[in-house]
Amino acid sequence: MSIPFIDLKAQYARIEQTIQDNIKKVLDHGQYVMGAEIKELEEKLAEYCGTKYAVACASGTDALTMSLLALGIGRGDAVFTSAFTFFATGETIAMIGATPIFVDVDPRTMNMDCEKLQEAIDKVKAEGKLKATAIMPVDIFGMPCDYDAMMPIAEAEGLKVIEDAAQAFGADFKGKRCCSYGEIGCTSFFPAKPLGCYGDGGMCFTDDEKLYELLLSVRVHGQGKDKYENVRFGVTGRMDTMQAAILLPKFDLFPEELEKRNEIAAYYNERLGVSEEMAVPFIPEGLKSCWAQYTLIAKDEATQEKLVKALQDASIPVARYYPLPLHMQKAFDYLEYKPEDLPVTYELSKTVFSLPMHPYLTKEMQDTICDTLLNA
């Protein structure tokens, strides 16, 4: 039995005809850029996330960059974020000229620790070199951050919030969906994300009409009243019409797939929760992950190595997110962090590992994976 880490072929088999029809429609109408499918997708997804506006774009990275630009963030600004994330989170902050301030995470949720966030804000203010401007929380592996703790801090300190929900489309924090937190929420439709297209894609979500208009402008080179007037700097951030045509039928399957992901996670939790060698994902009361990853925390580095090797020996795909947190990445050397500056993040980088997770995983496959781990 071969177990895929994610199974996009099983999903494609269910919607093959619709996908092909939709692609043909785009080829026939010829609006490869900003065709009608873009608006349709934006409206559907904004409604799903509970925001007034959505702006489709070329990637999750562009969604973050466009949000930073729309909010006027740049040189001299401090943006507080997590180091336990994909590189793009910190990269976009640095690329637009601002300074990422990496905050340590909670050892159970692996999301930003809000007590440490407050400490980091106080430190930046006391030093007086940078202006504390924004927070970029990351809903890691599809689990929402603690917004009950974070949003009051943002409000009290006058900080903007750009939610990096690249992994969290469909996740839910106490009845309010991810992508809807802060001034702008951002997601990614990279094929491996819970809702993925067949290439690169992303989206920004907001309730603020002014920000919506700014996002439309920065999506196309800071466009003014027409193509040939440019009033600010932006990016080439449009989503291809073809990707929107692919996402529409995939979005129809999404609610059912999300249910399946939750059932699969619950079964992993049930079977692996008994082990003392690893901790299963912690699910805070009232929160719903969309399970972009199912990530276990081994009790120490040696145990992680042993468990990962057992899976590899059984030809079961396994991933390690993230062996090099952002504060340890070469590109961020100039910020002069030491690995131990973020002790929880550093420890997690050596103990986490992720199992196959997708809606088409069978109980038989899950049993093989769990037996392998429990017998290791």
Ligand X SMILES: *Cc1c(COP(=O)(O)O)cnc(C)c1O
Which residues in this chain contact ligand X in the complex, by CB under 6 A? Answer: 59-61, 85-86, 88-89, 138, 164, 166-167, 188, 190, 200, 202
| Residue type at 136 in one-letter notation | M
Of 80 and 365, the one with the shorter C-beta distance to ligand X is: 80
Residue 375's contacts (CB-CB under 8 Å, 6 or more residues apart) are 310
Question: How crowded is the C-beta side of 265, counted as CA atoms within 13 Å?
Answer: 24
Cis status, amide bond into 322, omega within 30 of 0: yes
Of 93 and 117, the one with the shorter C-beta distance to ligand X is: 93
- Cα 30 to Cα 21, 23, 41, 103, 341, distances in angstroms: 14, 11, 18, 46, 53
Residue 167 CB, nearest distance to ligand X (Å)? 5
Tokens (6 digits) for 340: 């131990």
What are phi and psi for residue 107, nearest 5 degrees?
-70, -15
DSSP state of 223: B
Of 348 and 370, the one with the shorter C-beta distance to ligand X is: 348
CB 281 within 8 A of CB 293: no
Residue 138 CB, nearest distance to ligand X (Å)? 5
Of 66 and 370, the one with the shorter C-beta distance to ligand X is: 66
Residue 32 CB, nearest distance to ligand X (Å)? 20
Of 35 and 137, the one with the shorter C-beta distance to ligand X is: 137
Of 89 and 304, the one with the shorter C-beta distance to ligand X is: 89
Closest residue to ligand X, Cβ-based?
Answer: 60
Sign for the CA dihedral angle at 201, 323, 171, 270 comes to positive
Task: Give the pairing of strands 99-103 and 77-82.
Answer: parallel
Residue 127 CB, nearest distance to ligand X (Å)? 27
Residue 18 CB, nearest distance to ligand X (Å)? 23
Of 294 and 365, the one with the shorter C-beta distance to ligand X is: 294
Between CA 325 and CA 346 the distance in angstroms is 7
DSSP per residue, 225-262: SSTT-B-S---B-PPBHHHHHHHHHHHHHHHHHHHHHH
Between the two ends of the chain, the Cα-to-Cα distance in Å is: 19
Task: Give the pairing of strands 160-164 and 77-82.
Answer: unpaired
